[in-house]
Structure 1
Amino acid sequence: MMGDGTKAILGKPIQLADLIIKATDEAHNFRQECLDLKPKTERLAALLRQAARSDLYERPARRITDDTEQALEKTLSLVKKCRPHGLLRRVLTIIPAAAFKRASTSLDNSIADLSWLLRVSSTSHSDDDDDDIHLGLPPIAQNEPILFLIWEQIAALQTGASLGARADAAASLASLARDNDRYGKLIVEEDGIYPLLRLVKEGRIEGQENAARAIGLLARDPESVDRMVQAGVCSAFAKILKDAPMTVQATVAWAVAELAGNCPNSQDVFAQNNVVRLLVGHLAFETVQEHSKYTIPSKVNSIHSAVLANKDSKESNNAKPPRNADDSLENGNHGHVVARPTMAAKPSRSHNGSLSGVSIRGREFEDPATKNYMKAMAAKALSQLAKGNLAISKNITESKALLCFAFLLEKGTDEVRYNSAAALMEIAKVAEQDAELRRSAFKPTSPAAKAVVDQLLRIVRSEKPEHDDLLVPCIVTLGCLSRTFRATETRIIGPLVGFLDDREEVVLKEAAVALGKFACTENYLHQDHSKAIIKAGGAKHLIQQVYFGEQGVQMAALVLLCYIALHVPDSEELAQAEVLTVLEWASKQAFMVQDPKVEELLHESKGRLELYQSRGSRVLY
C-alpha cells in the first residue's frame, strides 16, 4: 500500500489545483472558459485531499499522481495567460480555442483516474456492490488496459472486504498468468506477491488454493521466483504443508514443483524450511508406517514380502534391526521403516499423530482422489527439488521415500507412478555423479533400493501399453545406477537391449544411452556387461541404428557399439556382424566425428578390432 513517500508527492498537485482555482477568479480574457474549468479543478482538489488521507495502492497511485500533476501544470499555464496584462502582452498572447477543450478533457480524465484509484483502494464496498465493482478501467488505462486490470485485482487482494472477494481476485490473477508470461511478470513487478502470500496464510480453502495456484503460475520466470523466495514463499508453503486442508496442500506441492523446477536457487531455501521432510511425510501417509520396533529384514525381495516380514517381526520379540535399514527423516528418531500396502485399507481413527512432522489429523477421511493427487504432487515436488541437488537427494534417500516410491510405482495411479518414476530418475542422476550417494542409497543389499529396482524392472519388462509413459524415466534410472549392479544381476541388460528395435525414438535413444553406461570404461564391470549386450543380440540392432536411425539415436548407438568393440574385440558375433566395417563407415561421416571424445573413442575401438579381425573379410562402403 501507499507509503509516506507516495503521499508526499500529492502535495504539489494539491497546490497546483489551489493556484488554478485562484487564477480562474482573476481571469480577464476567456473568462467564461476559465470559470468552466473551476468546478472541475475544485472536484479534483477534493479527490487529491481524499487520496492524501487514504491508504492507496502505491503502484497505480504514483502513475496517476504524475499524470494529474502534468494536467494541472498545463491548465495553470493556460489560465495564467488569461489574467489582465498590458495591451501589448494581450496582443502577443494567442490562445487557441481548442486549448480550453483539451484542458477540460485532461481534468475530466484525472478526476476519473483518481476516482478509480480511490475505489480500488477502498475497503468499504461489499461483495453485493456490483454497480461499484464494475466501474470499468480509468482513462489512463486506454494504452495499457491489462496493466490496470492487474492493478485492480491486486488492489482487491489487498483491500477486499471479504475473503471471497480476495479469492476471486487471486483466481483472476492466476488466469492472467496462465494466459501470458508477460502478464505474470507484470503481476510480480506490480507487487502482487505479498497479497497472494497473505491470502495463502489467512484465506479460506478456495482462496488459499487460488493464491497458491497463481504463485505457481508466476514461477515461469526465474527472476520472479527469486523475488517470491525473498518475500517468504518457502516458509509460507512449509506452514501449509504442515497443517492445512489436503486440497490446499496438494496445490502448494504443485507450486513448489513449479518454483523449484524453474529456479534451482530456490531448492536449498525450501529444504531449509523443512519442505522436503514434509513432502516425504505426505508421500508416506497410508503408504508406509514407521515404528521403532519394526524393521525391514535384509532378505526382503519385494514390497509384498516386506509386508510379510513386518508380520513376522511382530511375532518375534528378539528381532534386531539390520545395520543397513533406512532411518527416519525425523530429527532424533532412529526408528525404521516398514512398507505397508495401506493405500486402499481403512485407516484407524485413533491414529492422529504426526508422520515426519506432518499433521495427519482427519486426513484419513479425505476422498481417495484427493489423497492420490496429494501423493502425485508430493512426488512431483520432490523430483524438482532433487534435480541436480546432492544434499536434497541425500536427504530424500535417507528417509522412507525410496520405499514409498517403490510401493507407489506398483500400486499408485498413473500420475502418481509417473511422478514417482521422475523423482527416482532425478535422484539417480545425482547418484551417478556421486559415489558416496550411490553406495549409501543404492547398495545392492539395501531393501529399499532392491524394492526400487524390482519395480523399475517390472515396468521395463512389461509389454502393456499403459506403461509406455513410464519407460523413459525408468530406463534412465537404471542406466544411472549401472555401477551399483553386480555381475550376477542379469535381469537388466536383456530388456534394455529389446528397446533397441521397433520402439519410439526417445525410448530407443535412452535405452542406448543407458546401455552405454553399463558398457563404458568407467564401469568396473564393463566387460561383463558388454558380453551380456552381445549375448542379448544387441550388435545387430546397434548396427541398424548406426546406419539408419535418427541422428540422436545414431550417436548413442555408435558410442555403445564402440564401447562393446573396445572391451570385447575378440567376439565372434562382432566379427560376423562386420562391426569393424560399420565403424570405418562412421569415421567418414563428418557429423559423427564432430565431438572429439567420440572421434577418439571411435579411433581406439577400431584399432582394437583390427588386432582381432581379418582385414580380408571387410567390405568397404
Structure 2
Amino acid sequence: MGDGVMQILAKPIQLADQVTKLADDVHSFRAECQELKSKTDRLAALLRQAARAELYERPARRIMDDTEQLLDKALSLIAKCRANGIMKRMFTIIPAGAFRKMLIGLDNSIGNVSWLLRVSAAGDEDGDMHLGLPPIAQNEPILFLIWEQIATLHTGNLDARADAAASLVSLARDKRYGTLIIEEDGVGHLLRLVKEGRVEGQENAARALGLLGRDPESVERMVIAGVCSVFSKVLKESPMKVQAMVAWAVSELAANHPECQDIFAQNNVVRLLVGHLAFETVEEHSKYTIPPKVTSIHTVVMANITADPSMDSSEQPLLRQPIHSQARKNQMHDVVQYTVTGKKNPSDHHSVNVRQPLIVKGREFEDPATKSYMKAMAARALWQLARGNSTICKGITESKALLCFVVLLEKGENDVQYNSAMALMEIARVAEDDAVLRHSAFKPTSPTARSIVDQLLRIIEKADFNDLLVPCITAIGCLSRTFRATEKRIIGPLVRLLDDKEGVVMREAAIALTKFACTDNYLHLDHSKAIINAGGAKHLVQLVYFGEQMVQIAALILLSYIALHVPESEELAIAEVLSVLEWASKQGFVIQDPELEFLLPEAKGRLELYQSRGSAGFH
C-alpha cells in the first residue's frame, strides 16, 4: 500500500477521457462506439474512485498496466472509426470481432479495478466476506489470493486479520507460495499483527513468519524488515502463548540462516529466552550460602543461580512458589531450611552477560501445558541460536541457563527434555573447539559441570533408545577433554553401548569414545586403557566385522587409536585385533575415509611390532 499508486493512475484516467471524448465524433460504427464509450465512462469513474482510495500497490500496478494497455488499444480503435472520406473508410479495416473483444476487455478491466477497490478496503465493513478473484487472476489465482490476505492484514479488523494470517499459514507451507508472500510485502504486515493483534492473530502471524523463513535469502529479507526487534518485544511483553510461538519462529529462522544468530542476540532475544527457561524451573533467590555437604541436583542449582545487581526490586523475577511450601514437596527440604535460617552473603552477587528479563505479570497463572510448551520452545530456540556460535554459548553458560537445562532434562515433558538435550549438545560441540568456553563452563570442579555430567550419564546408563540418548552420548564425547584421568564413571557406560541393538547408538558411542582415545586428547593413553579394561576390544571387533558400514568405520577408527596407543595390550592380542586390522585394510570402505587412510596403517604397524615380539607371552 503506497503513495506511488497515484502516478500509475494518471495515464489510464487520461486515456479513458480521450476515448470518451473521441467516441462522440465517429463516422462509422456509431452504435458500437457508444457502447464502448458507456463502458469506458464506467471504468473512468472507478479509476477516479481508486485515485481517492489507499490502494494496495502490488496488485494495483499490475492491474493499471493491463488497463492502460487496453485503453490504448480502445483509443486506436476509436480513431479508426473517425476516418473521414470514402477512400479512408475503404482502406480502414476494422475486424468484425474487434468491438466485441474490446467490450469484453473493458468488462474485465472494470472487474479488476472493482476488485482492487474492494481488496484495498478489505475488512472495513465486509471483512468476513470472500472477495472473489478478478478476471486478471485467471492464470495466477494463488497470487491474487495472497494479495487478498495481505490486504486484509493491512486494513481489516482484528478478527479479519487473524483469519488472514491463518490463511497465509496454510499458503506458507508451500515453498513457492511462501516466496510470493515475502515478495508481495507480506512480512511487514505480519509483523505488525504480531505486535498489535489479539492472541489468536499474533499466534497465526508468528507461525506464518516461522514458516516463511525456510531459506537464508528469505530470513535475510525478514531480518531487514525488523523481525528480530519485533520478536524481542513480544518475548518481553506479550501473552505466553504468543511468546511460545515466537520462540518457535526464532528457532526456525536461526536453523535456516545461522548468520542471524548474532542479530537476535543483539536484540536481547537470548536473554529473554533464558528468562523464560528459568521461570519456575529454578529458585531465583540465590542470596544465601548453601551448605556444601548437600549434593542433590537441586542444591547445585540453588548454589549456582546468581542474582543480577543491575536490576531494582521491581525488576527481580518473582518467586513463584513459597520456599516453605516447595520444601515440603521435594528433596530440597534440608537446603531450604538452611536457606531460611542462614545469613545472607552479599559477596555472592555476580553480574552475568545474560541477565534475567522483566517478568510479565500474570504469567504464573498460565495453564501447565502452556508453560511446558513455552519452555520447550525456549529451549529449542536456544539450541538453534547456540549452534556453532561461541559468543552466544558463552552468554548462555554465564547466565546459568545450563542449570535450567539440567533440571528440565530430568523433570520436563518429552519435548522440553529433547530440546534441552539438543541445546546442551550444541553448547558442548562448541566447547569442544573453544578452549576458553570449555574451561569456563565445564571445569571439573564446577558444581554446574558436575550436575550436567550426572544428568547425561543417568540417561546413558539407562540406555533406553529414545530421543535423548544420542544427543547425550554426543555431548559427553564433546566434553571428553574436560575429564580427568581419575574420572572412572564415563568410559564404562559408553563401552556398554557398543553392544546396543541400534546402529545409530553404537556409532555415536564409538565416535564419543574416539574423542577420549584420539591423539588430540591429552589423556588418550589413560582413556584407551580404560576402554580396554571395560571390555571394549571384543565389542569393537564384532562391530568392525559385522556392523553396518557407518558403524564399521566408527568402530575401526576407535580400534585403530587404541591399538596405536596401547599396542602391548594382552586384551588386544586375545581379541586378535591385529587380524582385524589386516582384514580391514583390504576392504574398500577404508579407502573412502580420509582418517583411516593414514591411521589404520600406522596402528597396524605398531601392533605388529609389539605383538609379534611378545606374542609368546600372550599364550
TM-score (norm 2): 0.91
Counterpart in 2 of 1:316? 342
Q: Do residues 516 (structure 1) and 514 (structure 2) align?
A: yes
Q: Aligned to 2:200, which of 197, 202, 206?
A: 206
Q: Which runs of 5+ in 2 are unaligned?
A: 301-331
Corresponding residue for 1:591? 589
Query: Within 1, Cα distance between the matches of 2:492 and 2:568?
Result: 21
Letter in 2 for 1:414: N
CA distance in 2, matches of 1:38, 1:109: 15
- C-alpha change, 1:464 and 1:321, in structure 2 (3 Å) is farther
Cα–Cα, structure 1 residues 330 and 124, in superposed 2: closer, same or farther, change >3 Å?
closer
Query: What does the per-residue CA deviation read over 1:168-191, in whole Å, with 9 as the maximum and x for residues that have no partner?
Result: 11111011112x111111101100
How much is the aligned-residue C-alpha RMSD, in angstroms? 2.0
Q: Give the aligned partner of residue 357 of structure 2.
A: 357
Q: Residues 498 and 326 from structure 1, CA distance in 2 versus in 1: closer, same or farther, beyond 3 angstroms?
A: farther
Report deviation, 1:562.
0.8
Matching residue within 464, 469, 472 for 2:470: 472
SS at match of 1:288: coil
Aligned mates of 1:571, 1:320 — CA distance in 2: 55
In structure 2, the partner of 1:611 is 609
Output the amino acid matched with 2:409. Answer: L
The residue matched to 2:284 in structure 1 has which SS?
strand
Q: After the TM superposition, which residues 177-196 of structure 1 pair with which residues of structure 2 at under 5 Å, given as runs?
A: 177-178=172-173, 180-196=174-190
Do 1:257 and 1:384's aligned partners in 2 also have CA atoms closer than 8 Å? Answer: yes
Between 1:449-458 and 1:499-508, the stretch displaced more is 499-508
Structure 2 vs 1, CA of residues 521 and 310 (structure 1 numbering), >3 Å: closer, same or farther?
farther
- Show the counterpart of 1:221: 215
1:531 to 2:529 alignment: yes
Closer, same or farther: CA 330–225 of 1 in aligned 2, 3 Å:
closer
Counterpart-to-counterpart distance in 2, 1:604 and 1:31:
99
**Residue 405 of structure 1 corresponds to which residue in structure 2?**
405
Tell me by how many angstroms 1:328 deviates: 4.4
Q: Is 1:76 the equivalent of 2:75?
A: yes
Partner Cα separation in structure 2 for residue 71 and residue 615 of structure 1: 96
Task: Give the Cα–Cα distance (whole angstroms) in 1 for the partners of residues 33 and 255 of structure 2.
Answer: 61
Matched, 1:377 2:377: yes
Cα separation, 2, equivalents of 1:300 and 1:571: 42
The superposition leaves residues 208-227 of structure 1 with CA deviations (integer Å, 9 ceiling, x where unpaired) of: 11111111111112211111
CA distance in 1: counterparts of 2:368 and 2:595, whole angstroms: 51
TM-aligned CA distance change 1:124 to 1:455, over 3 Å: closer
Counterpart of 1:103 in structure 2 is: 102
Q: Distance in 1 between matches of 2:335 and 2:524?
A: 35
CA distance 1:617–1:147, change in 2 (3 Å): farther
Greater displacement, 486-495 / 110-119: 486-495
Residue 464 of structure 1 and its aligned partner are, at CA, apart by 4.5
Could you tell me how far apart the structure 1 residues matched to 2:289 and 2:269 are? 26
Shift of 1:461: 0.9
1:77: Cα distance to partner? 1.3
| CA distance, structure 2, for counterparts of residue 256 and residue 93 of structure 1 | 66
1:335-370 CA-partner distances (Å, limit 9, x unpaired): xxxxxxxxxxxxxxxxxxxxx113242111111111
How far is 1:423 from its partner?
0.4
Aligned length in residues: 584
Q: Partner letter of residue 245 of structure 1?
A: P
Aligned partners of 2:541 and 2:577 also within 8 Å: yes
Structure 1 residues 330, 463: CA separation in 2 closer, same or farther (over 3 Å shift)?
A: closer
Show the counterpart of 1:38: 37
How far does residue 204 in structure 1 lie from its aligned partner after superposition?
A: 1.0
Gaps of 5+ in 1: 332-355
* Matched residue type, 1:488: T
Contact 1:14 1:48 in 2 (8 A): yes
Partner of 2:51: 52
1:392: which partner in 2?
A: 392
| Alignment partners' CA distance in 2, 1:207 and 1:90 | 64
1: CA distance between counterparts of 2:383 and 2:514? 24
2:8 is equivalent to residue 9 of structure 1 = yes
Q: Deviations over 1:550-604 (max 9, x none)?
A: 2221211111111111111111111111111211222222331234332111111
Partner of 2:315: none
Question: What are the within-5 Å matches in structure 2 for residues 556-595 of structure 1?
Answer: 556-595=554-593
User: CA offset at residue 135 of structure 1?
Assistant: 3.1
What is the letter of the counterpart of residue 316 of structure 1? G
8 Å CA contact 1:298–1:446 kept in 2: the answer is no
| Range moving further from structure 2, 290-299 or 257-266 | 290-299
> Identity of paired residues, percent?
70
In the alignment, is the contact (CA less than 8 A) between 1:238 and 1:273 conserved in 2?
yes
Q: 1:311 to 1:425 in 2, by over 3 A?
A: farther
Partner of 2:420: 420
Q: Say if 2:83 and 2:92, in contact at 8 Å, map to a contact too.
A: no
Task: Measure, in 2, the Cα distance between the counterparts of 1:254 and 1:544.
Answer: 43
Residue 56 of structure 1 deviates from its aligned partner by: 0.7
Deviation at 1:292, TM superposition (A): 5.0
CA distance 1:464–1:508, shift in 2 (3 Å): closer
1:23 is displaced (CA, Å) by 2.0
Question: Is 1:281 the counterpart of 2:280 in the alignment?
Answer: no
Is 2:539 the partner of 1:541?
Answer: yes
